[in-house]
Amino acid sequence: MKKRKRPPKELDLRQAIRDSDDHKIVPVPTPEWPKVDGKVFVTSMNANEYIKYSEAIDTKGEAIVSDLVRLVVRAVCNSKGKPIFAAEDAKWLAAEKNGAVIMRLAMAAQKASGMSAAAIEGAEKNLEKTLS
């Protein structure tokens, strides 16, 4: 079977999309952490990360706390998009850090990635239940 060639204009659009830097880097206030306030950002998820995170949310549309902490570990970065945390940091973040800050970071990461308002609201409600 002969391979179909793309017309030049289609190829130009394809390459333009591929070359586009479409990841957001969003600042998140962290006044509870004064030494780093103003220096903490979150980055949006790529499509694979978005799907994996979405699949981790239970059938009611609620993320469990461990999913939110893993999202924070994956999304929190510096102003250049370089990750701040490693996977092994999830345990101490969940056990030692203020839940309001973790939730703020998780919600910012969800919003930066275009997650639905319903998913974000469900995650907030579930975290509130867990913390009370």
Nearest CA-CA partner of 115 in 45, 33, 41: 45
Q: Residue 81 pLDDT > 70, yes or no?
A: yes
Question: What is this structure's pTM?
Answer: 0.73
Which band of pLDDT confidence, cut at 50, 70 and 90, is reported for residue 6?
A: low
> Residue 131: what pLDDT?
58
Domain 22-131 top-level CATH class: alpha beta
From CA 119, how far away is CA 132, in angstroms rounded?
20
The one-character DSSP state at 32 is: T
Q: Residue 14 pLDDT > 70, yes or no?
A: yes
The one-character DSSP state at 98 is: -
From CA 68, how far away is CA 106, in angstroms rounded?
6
> Residue 101: what pLDDT?
95
User: What pLDDT, in 10s, does the model give residues 54-74?
Assistant: 776 655 555 677 888 989 999
Please report, for the chain, the start and end positions of each structural domain, with discontinuous segments joined by +.
Answer: 22-131
What percentage of the chain's residues is helix, strand, coil (to nearest 5)? Answer: 55, 5, 40
Q: What residue type is assigned to position 9 of the chain?
A: K
